[in-house]
Amino acid sequence: MTDNFKLDLTHRPRRLRRTASLRALVEETVLRPADFIAPLFVVEGQGRPEEIASMPGVFRLNLADVVKECRALHRLGVPAVALFPKLDPKLKDHEGTQALHEETLILRAVRAVKKAVPEMTLLTDVALDPYTTHGHDGVLTAAQDDVANDRTVGILAKMAVLQARAGVDLVAPSDMMDGRVGAIRRALDAAGFTGTGIMAYSAKFNSGYYGPFREAVGSAQAAGTRLLSKATYQLNPANRREAITEALLDEAEGADILMVKPAGLYLDIIRELRDATRKPVAAYQISGEYAQIHAAARLGWLDYARCRHESLLAIKRAGADMILTYFAKEMAALLKA
């Protein structure tokens, strides 16, 4: 009897899922190589690439290899890279003074990449955690129990000017200090870098998923733990309204692009920010998100390729205009093929 059962339906959404070509015609969200920003880790010396144990397929690269990687990414259609330094621990101190050295590693990396691949958009991190012995994003108060907001902002503004002078296209303050976007904008403009943009880490949460990144830049080693809490300056993961307040303050202070970090765990924040602003929205698929996909796939619990694609598709579908992701190169190669 059930073989003859028919529903009297006007609307059958499955009609448009019947064939691959139909599904392609109605696909609402599409990933492109141009959507991605590739984070790259830079080290001193001429050694071979060092794979980061907790981030399979991600390496610390010397300057020559960073240039090679940027050339390869450019050929694949990835338009931008974000550079992060891993300093020799001997260069770190309590104040992060190496960040203001004219020949510090990140500035030499920017100059090298800009000379070799001038078409590549370069982002640099504006925060002190790669440079400090305590692993925090700024200098500490006299009591050593918190980050000193205003004194840190003064240092970050100087960092941003040095990075602009080296040729960076976008400075990216990731520190979450109050007022830092406005201070950086004023400093850049006063120094004549009115064309240098600011991609603000506007809604950066105090996440437990940053551990592999802290290993990559050596801030966990400096602090003695990858579990370092930054709760007094990064956002409480419980707070949606506060995240939008932070982002809109950055917009008012002159940010050109607003970022949400982490990405996949905060799709609701990406969507709410997309609805609240006309500025471009970036999202950072962080090290822990990347690492857990790899780990589960290696155990045979997830389909690596499908989960990699789905995780990025979800971020773009939520409203991100651009995605910082450690999958950038392999996804661009796949999409370009």
- Clarify whether 261 is annotated catalytic: yes
Q: Token pair of 325, please? A: 């992701």
CB 216 within 8 A of CB 58: yes
Residues with Cβ within 8 Å of residue 243, at least 6 apart in sequence: 203, 205, 235, 260, 266, 269, 272, 273
Q: Token pair of 2, please? A: 């059930």
Distance of CA 329 to the CA centre of its chain: 15
**Backbone phi, then psi, for 311, in 5-degree steps?**
-65, -40
CB 106 within 8 A of CB 123: no
Kind and range of the H or E run holding 227: none
Q: Which one is catalytic: 230, 261, 279, 316? A: 261
- Which residue type occupies 24? A
* DSSP tally for the chain: helices H, then strands E: 12, 10
Residues with Cβ within 8 Å of residue 196, at least 6 apart in sequence: 160, 164, 168, 169, 170, 171, 188
CB 282 within 8 A of CB 199: yes
Residues with Cβ within 8 Å of residue 333, at least 6 apart in sequence: 76
CA dist 133 and 53 (Å) reads 22
- Clarify whether 336 is annotated catalytic: no
Q: Residues with catalytic annotation? A: 204, 261
